[in-house]
Protein backbone atom coordinates (compact mmCIF):
# COMPACT_ATOMS: atom_id res chain seq x y z
CA UNK A 1 0.00 0.00 0.00
CA UNK A 2 1.23 3.50 -0.84
CA UNK A 3 1.89 5.70 2.14
CA UNK A 4 2.38 9.45 2.14
CA UNK A 5 6.18 9.70 1.80
CA UNK A 6 6.38 13.18 3.27
CA UNK A 7 4.84 12.00 6.52
CA UNK A 8 6.23 8.46 6.49
CA UNK A 9 9.60 9.39 7.95
CA UNK A 10 10.21 8.86 11.71
CA UNK A 11 10.91 12.48 12.71
CA UNK A 12 8.29 14.03 10.42
CA UNK A 13 5.77 11.46 11.58
CA UNK A 14 6.31 12.46 15.21
CA UNK A 15 6.22 16.17 14.37
CA UNK A 16 2.85 15.71 12.69
CA UNK A 17 1.55 13.46 15.51
CA UNK A 18 2.54 16.05 18.13
CA UNK A 19 0.93 18.94 16.25
CA UNK A 20 -2.26 17.07 15.35
CA UNK A 21 -2.72 16.06 19.03
CA UNK A 22 -3.19 19.74 19.98
CA UNK A 23 -6.42 21.70 19.68
CA UNK A 24 -6.99 23.11 16.18
CA UNK A 25 -5.30 26.50 15.83
CA UNK A 26 -2.70 25.74 18.51
CA UNK A 27 0.99 26.24 17.81
CA UNK A 28 4.02 24.53 19.34
CA UNK A 29 7.13 26.41 20.38
CA UNK A 30 10.13 25.24 18.27
CA UNK A 31 12.37 24.79 21.33
CA UNK A 32 9.82 22.68 23.19
CA UNK A 33 9.07 20.61 20.10
CA UNK A 34 12.80 19.96 19.72
CA UNK A 35 12.98 18.85 23.36
CA UNK A 36 9.93 16.66 22.98
CA UNK A 37 11.32 14.88 19.92
CA UNK A 38 14.93 14.74 21.14
CA UNK A 39 16.42 16.03 17.88
CA UNK A 40 18.88 18.77 17.02
CA UNK A 41 17.98 22.28 15.83
CA UNK A 42 19.23 21.57 12.33
CA UNK A 43 17.47 18.24 12.03
CA UNK A 44 14.15 19.63 13.23
CA UNK A 45 14.53 22.70 11.01
CA UNK A 46 15.10 20.57 7.91
CA UNK A 47 12.04 18.39 8.56
CA UNK A 48 9.88 21.39 9.33
CA UNK A 49 10.92 22.94 6.03
CA UNK A 50 9.93 19.77 4.18
CA UNK A 51 6.51 19.67 5.86
CA UNK A 52 6.02 23.38 5.29
CA UNK A 53 6.81 22.99 1.58
CA UNK A 54 4.13 20.30 1.39
CA UNK A 55 1.69 22.77 2.97
CA UNK A 56 1.15 20.51 6.00
CA UNK A 57 2.39 22.93 8.64
CA UNK A 58 2.86 26.67 8.99
CA UNK A 59 5.38 28.59 11.04
CA UNK A 60 5.08 31.95 12.69
CA UNK A 61 7.80 34.03 14.31
CA UNK A 62 7.06 36.07 17.40
CA UNK A 63 9.17 38.08 19.80
CA UNK A 64 8.79 37.03 23.41
CA UNK A 65 10.81 39.02 25.94
CA UNK A 66 12.72 40.49 22.96
CA UNK A 67 13.80 37.05 21.80
CA UNK A 68 12.59 35.58 18.51
CA UNK A 69 10.53 32.43 18.94
CA UNK A 70 9.16 30.20 16.21
CA UNK A 71 5.74 28.64 16.64
CA UNK A 72 4.63 25.74 14.46
CA UNK A 73 1.08 24.67 13.76
CA UNK A 74 -0.57 22.09 11.52
CA UNK A 75 -2.68 23.32 8.59
CA UNK A 76 -6.08 21.88 7.67
CA UNK A 77 -4.42 20.27 4.64
CA UNK A 78 -1.82 18.71 6.95
CA UNK A 79 -4.45 17.47 9.37
CA UNK A 80 -6.40 15.84 6.53
CA UNK A 81 -3.23 14.27 5.07
CA UNK A 82 -2.27 12.94 8.49
CA UNK A 83 -5.69 11.40 9.08
CA UNK A 84 -5.51 9.78 5.66
CA UNK A 85 -2.03 8.48 6.48
CA UNK A 86 -3.23 6.96 9.78
CA UNK A 87 -6.15 5.31 7.97
CA UNK A 88 -3.66 3.83 5.48
CA UNK A 89 -1.57 2.45 8.35
CA UNK A 90 -4.62 0.91 9.98
CA UNK A 91 -5.63 -0.64 6.67
CA UNK A 92 -2.26 -2.44 6.52
CA UNK A 93 -2.85 -4.11 9.87
CA UNK A 94 -4.96 -7.26 10.02
CA UNK A 95 -8.61 -6.48 10.77
CA UNK A 96 -9.76 -7.58 14.25
CA UNK B 1 6.15 2.80 -0.79
CA UNK B 2 5.56 -0.72 0.44
CA UNK B 3 5.15 -1.11 4.13
CA UNK B 4 4.93 -4.15 6.30
CA UNK B 5 2.47 -4.72 9.08
CA UNK B 6 5.30 -4.40 11.57
CA UNK B 7 6.26 -0.96 10.22
CA UNK B 8 2.65 0.14 10.34
CA UNK B 9 2.21 -1.05 13.90
CA UNK B 10 5.41 0.74 14.95
CA UNK B 11 4.33 3.94 13.21
CA UNK B 12 0.96 3.89 14.99
CA UNK B 13 2.74 3.42 18.32
CA UNK B 14 5.04 6.36 17.55
CA UNK B 15 2.03 8.50 16.69
CA UNK B 16 0.29 7.65 19.94
CA UNK B 17 3.39 8.31 22.03
CA UNK B 18 4.23 11.62 20.34
CA UNK B 19 0.60 12.75 20.67
CA UNK B 20 0.49 11.87 24.38
CA UNK B 21 3.76 13.68 25.04
CA UNK B 22 2.56 16.77 23.19
CA UNK B 23 -0.68 16.85 25.17
CA UNK B 24 1.17 16.47 28.48
CA UNK B 25 3.61 19.23 27.59
CA UNK B 26 0.76 21.47 26.46
CA UNK B 27 -1.14 20.93 29.72
CA UNK B 28 1.64 21.11 32.26
CA UNK B 29 4.58 23.19 31.02
CA UNK B 30 4.20 26.69 32.43
CA UNK B 31 1.34 25.56 34.67
CA UNK B 32 3.87 23.96 37.03
CA UNK B 33 5.54 27.25 37.94
CA UNK B 34 2.22 29.08 38.14
CA UNK B 35 0.96 26.60 40.74
CA UNK B 36 4.19 26.94 42.69
CA UNK B 37 3.97 30.75 42.65
CA UNK B 38 0.40 30.65 43.97
CA UNK B 39 1.32 27.96 46.49
CA UNK B 40 4.03 30.22 47.93
CA UNK B 41 1.70 33.26 47.77
CA UNK B 42 -0.97 31.41 49.75
CA UNK B 43 1.57 30.09 52.20
CA UNK B 44 2.91 33.59 52.92
CA UNK B 45 -0.55 35.21 52.94
CA UNK B 46 -2.07 32.70 55.36
CA UNK B 47 0.94 32.39 57.68
CA UNK B 48 1.25 36.18 57.98
CA UNK B 49 -2.49 36.44 58.57
CA UNK B 50 -2.32 33.83 61.34
CA UNK B 51 0.50 35.60 63.16
CA UNK B 52 -0.99 39.07 62.73
CA UNK B 53 -4.56 38.09 63.56
CA UNK B 54 -4.74 40.73 66.30
CA UNK B 55 -3.50 43.47 63.99
CA UNK B 56 -5.86 46.44 63.76
CA UNK B 57 -5.78 49.28 61.26
CA UNK B 58 -6.81 52.68 62.54
CA UNK B 59 -7.89 55.68 60.45
CA UNK B 60 -8.84 58.44 62.88
CA UNK B 61 -11.97 57.23 64.68
CA UNK B 62 -12.39 54.30 62.32
CA UNK B 63 -10.66 51.02 63.03
CA UNK B 64 -10.80 47.67 61.27
CA UNK B 65 -9.32 44.24 61.63
CA UNK B 66 -6.26 44.27 59.36
CA UNK B 67 -4.73 40.81 59.59
CA UNK B 68 -5.04 40.27 55.86
CA UNK B 69 -2.62 43.07 54.90
CA UNK B 70 -0.09 40.69 53.35
CA UNK B 71 -2.58 39.64 50.65
CA UNK B 72 -2.42 43.16 49.20
CA UNK B 73 1.24 42.49 48.42
CA UNK B 74 1.40 38.80 47.52
CA UNK B 75 -1.66 38.63 45.25
CA UNK B 76 -0.59 41.42 42.81
CA UNK B 77 2.92 39.91 42.68
CA UNK B 78 1.48 36.45 41.98
CA UNK B 79 -0.80 37.84 39.24
CA UNK B 80 2.12 39.60 37.52
CA UNK B 81 4.29 36.46 37.74
CA UNK B 82 1.42 34.35 36.36
CA UNK B 83 1.13 36.62 33.31
CA UNK B 84 4.89 36.58 32.71
CA UNK B 85 5.21 32.81 33.13
CA UNK B 86 2.18 32.12 30.97
CA UNK B 87 3.67 34.19 28.16
CA UNK B 88 7.26 33.02 28.38
CA UNK B 89 7.13 29.41 29.43
CA UNK B 90 4.14 27.81 27.74
CA UNK B 91 5.11 25.25 25.13
CA UNK B 92 1.88 25.73 23.23
CA UNK B 93 -0.06 28.83 22.28
CA UNK B 94 -3.72 28.31 21.63
CA UNK B 95 -6.96 30.20 21.30
CA UNK B 96 -8.37 28.01 24.08
CA UNK B 97 -5.75 29.34 26.51
CA UNK B 98 -6.79 32.90 25.71
CA UNK B 99 -10.40 31.93 26.39
CA UNK B 100 -9.36 30.47 29.73
CA UNK B 101 -7.59 33.74 30.59
CA UNK B 102 -10.76 35.69 29.75
CA UNK B 103 -12.81 33.20 31.77
CA UNK B 104 -10.66 33.88 34.86
CA UNK B 105 -11.03 37.64 34.53
CA UNK B 106 -14.78 37.33 33.97
CA UNK B 107 -15.09 35.12 37.02
CA UNK B 108 -13.59 37.80 39.26
CA UNK B 109 -15.60 40.54 37.58
CA UNK B 110 -18.70 38.42 38.22
CA UNK B 111 -17.74 38.05 41.89
CA UNK B 112 -17.03 41.78 42.23
CA UNK B 113 -20.32 42.56 40.50
CA UNK B 114 -22.30 40.52 43.02
CA UNK B 115 -20.48 42.16 45.92
CA UNK B 116 -21.44 45.55 44.42
CA UNK B 117 -25.04 44.53 43.78
CA UNK B 118 -25.42 43.08 47.25
CA UNK B 119 -23.55 45.90 48.98
CA UNK B 120 -26.75 47.50 50.38
CA UNK B 121 -27.46 44.34 52.36
CA UNK B 122 -23.87 43.38 53.23
CA UNK B 123 -22.89 44.31 56.76
CA UNK B 124 -19.45 45.77 56.01
CA UNK B 125 -18.88 46.44 59.72
CA UNK B 126 -19.05 42.68 60.16
CA UNK B 127 -16.47 42.19 57.39
CA UNK B 128 -14.05 44.41 59.29
CA UNK B 129 -14.03 41.99 62.23
CA UNK B 130 -11.67 39.03 62.60
CA UNK B 131 -14.45 36.54 61.94
CA UNK B 132 -15.80 38.55 59.01
CA UNK B 133 -12.39 38.64 57.34
CA UNK B 134 -12.02 34.89 57.76
CA UNK B 135 -15.42 34.22 56.19
CA UNK B 136 -14.70 36.67 53.37
CA UNK B 137 -11.38 34.99 52.58
CA UNK B 138 -12.98 31.55 52.66
CA UNK B 139 -15.65 32.83 50.23
CA UNK B 140 -13.07 34.30 47.87
CA UNK B 141 -11.15 31.00 47.81
CA UNK B 142 -14.27 29.18 46.61
CA UNK B 143 -14.21 31.21 43.35
CA UNK B 144 -10.85 30.07 41.88
CA UNK B 145 -11.42 26.56 43.22
CA UNK B 146 -14.69 26.40 41.33
CA UNK B 147 -12.76 27.46 38.22
CA UNK B 148 -10.28 24.61 38.83
CA UNK B 149 -13.14 22.13 39.05
CA UNK B 150 -14.62 23.41 35.78
CA UNK B 151 -11.24 23.27 34.03
CA UNK B 152 -10.60 19.79 35.40
CA UNK B 153 -13.93 18.63 34.01
CA UNK B 154 -13.27 20.15 30.59
CA UNK B 155 -9.96 18.60 29.63
CA UNK B 156 -7.37 20.64 31.52
CA UNK B 157 -6.10 17.67 33.50
CA UNK B 158 -8.15 15.62 35.92
CA UNK B 159 -5.77 16.65 38.73
CA UNK B 160 -7.30 20.15 38.60
CA UNK B 161 -10.68 18.67 39.46
CA UNK B 162 -9.29 16.90 42.53
CA UNK B 163 -7.21 19.94 43.51
CA UNK B 164 -10.27 22.21 43.30
CA UNK B 165 -12.48 19.80 45.25
CA UNK B 166 -9.75 19.05 47.80
CA UNK B 167 -8.99 22.69 48.61
CA UNK B 168 -12.70 23.54 48.70
CA UNK B 169 -13.29 20.75 51.22
CA UNK B 170 -10.26 21.82 53.31
CA UNK B 171 -11.46 25.43 53.18
CA UNK B 172 -14.96 24.61 54.44
CA UNK B 173 -13.60 22.22 57.06
CA UNK B 174 -11.11 24.78 58.35
CA UNK B 175 -13.70 27.55 58.51
CA UNK B 176 -16.38 25.53 60.28
CA UNK B 177 -14.45 23.04 62.39
CA UNK B 178 -11.14 24.69 63.36
CA UNK B 179 -11.76 28.44 62.90
CA UNK B 180 -8.96 29.41 65.31
CA UNK B 181 -6.46 27.46 63.20
CA UNK B 182 -8.05 28.27 59.85
CA UNK B 183 -5.18 30.38 58.48
CA UNK B 184 -2.43 27.93 59.36
CA UNK B 185 -4.59 25.04 58.17
CA UNK B 186 -5.09 26.73 54.81
CA UNK B 187 -1.40 27.65 54.56
CA UNK B 188 -0.63 23.94 54.68
CA UNK B 189 -3.63 22.52 52.81
CA UNK B 190 -4.16 25.36 50.32
CA UNK B 191 -0.65 26.70 49.80
CA UNK B 192 0.88 23.26 50.19
CA UNK B 193 -1.73 21.73 47.90
CA UNK B 194 -1.05 24.25 45.14
CA UNK B 195 2.71 23.83 45.48
CA UNK B 196 2.33 20.03 45.36
CA UNK B 197 0.21 20.43 42.21
CA UNK B 198 3.10 22.41 40.72
CA UNK B 199 5.55 19.62 41.49
CA UNK B 200 3.14 17.08 40.00
CA UNK B 201 2.75 19.18 36.84
CA UNK B 202 6.52 19.63 36.55
CA UNK B 203 7.14 15.90 36.76
CA UNK B 204 4.33 15.24 34.31
CA UNK B 205 5.78 17.42 31.54
CA UNK B 206 9.36 16.35 32.23
CA UNK B 207 8.28 12.77 31.61
CA UNK B 208 7.08 13.96 28.20
CA nearest to B97 within chain A: A26
Q: What is the predicted pLDDT for the residue at B80?
A: 94
Q: What is the predicted pLDDT for the residue at A96?
A: 63
Average pLDDT in the B24-41 region? 90
User: Structural domain boundaries of chain A?
Assistant: 26-91
Lowest-pLDDT choice from A29-38, A86-95, B90-99, B160-169: B90-99
Q: Which of A21, A26, A65 is opposite residue B94, by nearest beta carbon?
A: A26
Q: Give one DSSP letter per residue of chain B, joined into a string.
A: ----HHHHHHHHHHHHHHHHHHHHHHHHTTHHHHHHHHHHHHHHHHHHHHHTTT-EEEETTEEEE-GGGGHHHHHHHHHHHHHHHHHHH-SEE-HHHHHHHHHHHHHHHHHHHHHHHTGGGS-HHHHTSHHHHHHHHHHHHHHHHHHHHHHHHTTS-HHHHHHHHHHHHHHHHHHHH-GGGHHHHHIIIIIHHHHHHHHHHHHHHH--
Q: What is the predicted pLDDT for the residue at B102?
A: 85
Q: Which of B3, B8, B92 is opposite residue A27, by nearest beta carbon?
A: B92
- Contacts of residue B26 in chain A, CB cutoff 8 Å? 22, 26, 28
Write down the CATH number for the domain with range A26-91: 1.10.10.10
Q: What is the predicted pLDDT for the residue at B138?
A: 94
Chain mean pLDDT for chain B = 87
- How many inter-chain contacts (A to B, CB under 8 Å) are there? 98
Whether residue B155 is predicted with pLDDT greater than 90 in this model: the reply is: no
Q: Which of A14, A86, A93 is opposite residue B18, by nearest beta carbon?
A: A14
Whether residue B58 is predicted with pLDDT greater than 80 in this model: the reply is: no
Q: What is the predicted pLDDT for the residue at B121?
A: 84
Mutation target for B interface from A8, A13, A20, A26: give the one with most B CBs within 10 A.
A26
Q: What is the predicted pLDDT for the residue at B87?
A: 79
Average pLDDT in the A76-85 region? 95
Q: What is the predicted pLDDT for the residue at B208?
A: 63
- Contacts of residue A30 in chain B, CB cutoff 8 Å? none
- Contacts of residue A29 in chain B, CB cutoff 8 Å? 90-93
Q: What is the predicted pLDDT for the residue at A43?
A: 94
pLDDT, tens digit, for every residue of B95-140?
667 777 888 888 888 888 988 898 888 787 777 788 888 998 999 9
- Contacts of residue A17 in chain B, CB cutoff 8 Å? 14-19, 22
The proportion of chain A whose per-residue pLDDT surpasses 70, expressed as a percent, equals: 98
Cα–Cα dist A15/A11, whole Å: 6
pLDDT, tens digit, for every residue of B79-92?
999 988 887 777 77
pLDDT, tens digit, for every residue of A35-77?
889 999 999 999 999 999 999 999 998 887 778 889 999 999 9
- Contacts of residue A68 in chain B, CB cutoff 8 Å? none
Amino acid sequence: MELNETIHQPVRLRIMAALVALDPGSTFNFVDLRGLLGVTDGNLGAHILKLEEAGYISTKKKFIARKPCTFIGVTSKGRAAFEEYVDSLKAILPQK
Amino acid sequence: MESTQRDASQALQDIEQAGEKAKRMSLYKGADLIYMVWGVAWLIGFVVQHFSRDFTLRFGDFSMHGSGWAWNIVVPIAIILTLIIGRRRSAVQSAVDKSIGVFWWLLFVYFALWVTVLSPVIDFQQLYTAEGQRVLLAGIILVPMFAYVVMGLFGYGRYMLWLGLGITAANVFGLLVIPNWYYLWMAVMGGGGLFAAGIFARQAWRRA
